[in-house]
């Protein structure tokens, strides 16, 4: 089982990126524990989705975008590539903004410099994987995941103002007005990440286990992939719920004057609790942004190569994708609102990735003994339909 374990921790970084930090803290600050159930349900869906993505890549030896290019019309593949690139661009925007905020809080860096440093560090992380040091890349991803969790967890302890009853009540589904629905969509987009689906189906390849060998022992493969996904995404779920709890606690501590802004959160922590709490928050945010930016660049390469068969040098792709973030930072666009908006855009790409995944995983001729059970197909299909319905409702919620 050991060679199979690890890719889920890389994918899990996408589930604790700065978009998650922004949406979850905003949800906690404005609605308390109301949307905890959204995080939990979305995380359960994410575990199911990433398990299927890993299973697809293992059973076929190909990524989800590659299978689309082979089995769908060329015009359809091009359309899928465009929407996937929009998702990756929105993801990169969130990750760069988050890392830039973290560097500004920690080191007082100017905007342009922080963006450049983020690009360089993310490229160095990718270089580990390009040189074949895949296990080091996965271990660094796991360390980043734990570092984010440690920073948020420490701040929860020192901020206090938590309510066990409120947290338990947040597990009951419910909304409070249109704004809470928008935030819920942002949480879904930040939690069920389409680019992580494409990426995970590629990460499981080249690990000393061919598709033929995987089909000879499907039970072992299922157990290994399930363990990998449950462990990695289970940690990410705890971290995301902790972000909402921190937002609720800090919102209560400020009497409702703080409503989720990341820069203001650092100031509130420094002024009310102390420098160590502010430092833990900034380190968690920076770790989240840098690690997820590397994963985002890797996902972009998988998307372009899979759908189109093209490869663009990583540094060229990084320069192109960082441009919108640098522009937004330079123009002084409200950063937390930009992060939340990027997650809403990402949520609109979720149904596409889920539909493609379910469609291929139900095909016995493609998956062999690792094909989805009928019940799994029905659950995944219903989940995708629900997310799609929420996406259709979102524009009406925003404009009417």
Q: What is the pLDDT of residues 126-150, one digit of tens each?
A: 666 555 556 677 777 788 888 888 9
The two tokens of residue 231 are 């462990």
170/187 Cα distance (integer angstroms):
14
The two tokens of residue 362 are 């139900």
| pLDDT number for residue 397 | 60
14/9 Cα distance (integer angstroms):
9
How confident is the model over 222-260, as pLDDT tens digits?
888 999 899 999 999 999 999 999 989 888 888 878 887
273-298 b/e (C-beta count within 10 Å ≥ 16 → b): beeebbbbbbbbbbbbbbbbbbbbbb
| pLDDT number for residue 237 | 92
| pLDDT number for residue 156 | 92
pLDDT under 70: residue ranges of the chain? 1, 111-112, 122, 125-135, 189, 206-208, 314-315, 317-318, 321-322, 329, 335-337, 339-340, 343-344, 347, 388, 390-400
Q: Which of 13, 48, 237 is nearest to 142 (CA)?
A: 13
The two tokens of residue 46 are 């994410």
What angle, rounded to 10 degrees, do the helices at 350-361 and 64-71 form?
Answer: 70
pTM: 0.86
């Amino acid at each position: 089982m050991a060679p199979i374990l690890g890719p889920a921790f890389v994918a899990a970084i996408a589930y604790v990126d700065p978009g998650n930090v922004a949406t979850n803290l905003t949800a906690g600050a404005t609605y308390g524990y109301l949307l905890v159930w959204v995080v939990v349900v979305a995380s359960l869906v994410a575990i199911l989705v990433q398990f299927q993505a890993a299973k697809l890549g293992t059973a076929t030896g190909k990524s989800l975008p590659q299978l689309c290019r082979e089995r769908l019309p060329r015009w359809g593949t091009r359309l899928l590539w465009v929407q996937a690139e929009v998702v990756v661009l929105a993801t990169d925007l969130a990750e760069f903004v988050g890392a830039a905020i973290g560097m500004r809080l920690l080191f007082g860096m100017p905007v342009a410099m922080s963006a450049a440093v983020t690009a360089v560090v993310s490229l160095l992380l990718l270089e580990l994987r390009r040189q074949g040091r895949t296990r080091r890349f996965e271990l660094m991803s796991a360390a980043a995941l734990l570092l984010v969790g440690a920073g948020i967890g420490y701040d929860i302890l020192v901020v206090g103002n938590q309510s066990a009853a409120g947290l338990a009540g947040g597990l009951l589904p419910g909304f409070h007005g249109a704004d809470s629905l928008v935030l819920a969509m942002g949480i879904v987009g930040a939690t069920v990440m389409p680019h992580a689906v494409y990426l995970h189906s590629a990460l499981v390849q080249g690990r000393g286990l061919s598709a033929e060998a995987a089909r000879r022992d499907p039970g072992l493969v299922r157990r290994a992939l399930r363990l990998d996904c449950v462990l990695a995404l289970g940690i990410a779920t705890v971290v995301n719920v902790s972000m909402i709890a921190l937002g609720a606690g800090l919102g209560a501590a400020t009497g409702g004057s703080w409503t989720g802004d990341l820069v203001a959160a650092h100031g509130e922590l420094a002024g009310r609790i102390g420098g160590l709490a502010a430092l833990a928050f900034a380190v968690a945010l920076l770790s989240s942004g840098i690690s997820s930016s590397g994963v985002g660049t890797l996902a972009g390469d998988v998307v372009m190569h899979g759908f189109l068969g093209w490869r663009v040098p990583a540094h060229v792709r990084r320069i192109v994708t960082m441009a919108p973030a640098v522009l937004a930072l330079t123009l002084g666009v409200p950063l937390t609102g930009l992060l939340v908006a990027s997650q809403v855009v990402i949520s609109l790409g979720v149904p596409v990735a889920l539909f493609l995944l379910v469609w291929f995983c139900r095909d016995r001729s493609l998956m062999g003994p690792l094909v989805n059970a009928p019940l799994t197909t029905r659950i995944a299909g219903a989940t995708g339909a629900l997310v799609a319905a929420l996406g259709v409702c979102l524009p009406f919620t925003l404009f009417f």
